[in-house]
Structure 1
Amino acid sequence: MICEGRAVLVTGAGRGLGRAHALEFARQGARVVVNDLGVGPDGTGGADGPARETADEIREGGGEAVACTGDIASADGAAGAVRAALEAYGRLDTIVNNAGFVRDRMLVNLTEDDWDAVVRVHLRGHFLVLREAAVHWRAEAKAGRRPRARVVNTSSGAGLLGSVGQANYAAAKAGIAALTLVAAAELGRYGVGVNAVAPAARTRMTEGVFADRMAAPEDGFDAMDPANVSPLVVWLGADGAEGVTGRVFEAEGGRIRLMDGYRPGPEAVRPTRWDPSDVGGAVADLLSQAPPPEPVYGA
């Protein structure tokens, strides 16, 4: 019961990873706001059923949950999701930004609408919910009620390493990783820890990406079960994660990996401006001193 008494908002919690996170938070004693717009894997349509069903399942198991079906990629929807927690539980302790969908295309076929829609739900959705909660937590801290708040953002290996056919999704997820670093630096003074998780699991969104790994095993450990990612997410959303902030983790099956982002590497320095004819040799020398880059997914 590591989250007992905490009020937790999980976006995209009607299905897949978000649903698994919401259920595990509830099992660990949290009171949960289940947010989901109920759209299809490509972001079309919409229904309140998925959010209500997850909330009902939590309540049937003896937990506390309310459903929220607002569009978190709109300012009103993000405000409504945060307000739902404050109205239902009088507080907001943890946010898991998870909502999203994919519209995969190779760059030459990627439309502006596909780009805008995917970046909107992932990157804008993370930003708006995070901003709305941050305003509340800053006010609490200034009023002498310093929060012990946690944010868990959802990035992706596609955002950290790139993924062929997913330029829109990879760009949004890379932005989320950077947003996590900035938010951790800015919000720490108010008692807020911010981290990101890059999960790999069997969901509607990954049917194409993990086609060769989608089937659950007939026996033994199902490494692609979304519930495998939730223990890390729940721990990062609990009091025990205090002091852990500005980090990006990968989670898949029984593996938790701390990702090590950009760091200064080899350098070439001269006391004057470089001549273009000299740059090629310097770059070749730098590359010879550096490890090769990780391969892009699907390359």
Structure 2
Amino acid sequence: MDASDLLGRRFEAERGRLRAMAYRMLGSLSEADDAVQDAWVRLSTTDAGAIGNLGGWLTTVVARICLNILRSRETRGEAPLDDSIPELADRRAGSDPEEEAVMADAVGLALLVVLDSLQPAERLAFVLHDMFDVPFANIAPIIGKSTEATRQLASRARRRVKGSASPSPDAARQLHAVEAYLAAVRSGDFEALVNLLAPDVVLTADAAATPAAIAVMLRGSQEVARAAVASALRAPFARIALLDGAPGLVVAPRGHLRLVLAFTVDGGRISAVDVVADRRRLRALEVSLADL
């Protein structure tokens, strides 16, 4: 076996771990595979004999590639390549929607949603340290921060992932209303929705959330319930999360945050629903998980 074959075998032994790591950082299976392949290209043109720790070297290279992709998204305001609409994503050349769905389920859709809301450096620090046991001292040079600053980034991300451990009574009541709303939408139960909504409920949706790309406002339980039932196709992708500390719904196909529903609950009934899909508004929200 020549040196190139040996190097190829050593790389293949690392591929699964690198792919899993890249997927958690990028939330896109196709981009994760591209990042891993890019790492192989760089390795094949490098003096491998001078690399003391191949696994560590590959981890660093893949992490830097992922960080560049995440920062590029931030600059251009782009979503991951795996589109939010499954039918469109499935047509993308080289995509494997079934495998993507399996990966998302294995990681946890709710976790991917929160990861998607983190800043690039936060996401990298959390994934590398908390999920793959990479020391902070090794992560710091990748993101260009001190070891202590890197530790703080991971801690901030960890708080977002874990959410609030002690919800207030108001949050618990709102959670109950949100759960009931989601169940009614998923089952298409119009009457249950009408009973859950206040008679004078107001629903607002920004332009990015509507098919016609115009902002809308609906008033009254009947109108809002009809709109909720009409949106049932989104319901399988919806998950409960905390939006700026209050229970709400996130719509996240394959873990990519595309839309949120924020609720106002008064006396056990929903009095307002704010539907947000604008990327800048989504980025301004603090999305976190909670064991409510």
Larger radius of gyration: 2
TM-score (ref. length: structure 2): 0.29
TM-score (ref. length: structure 1): 0.28
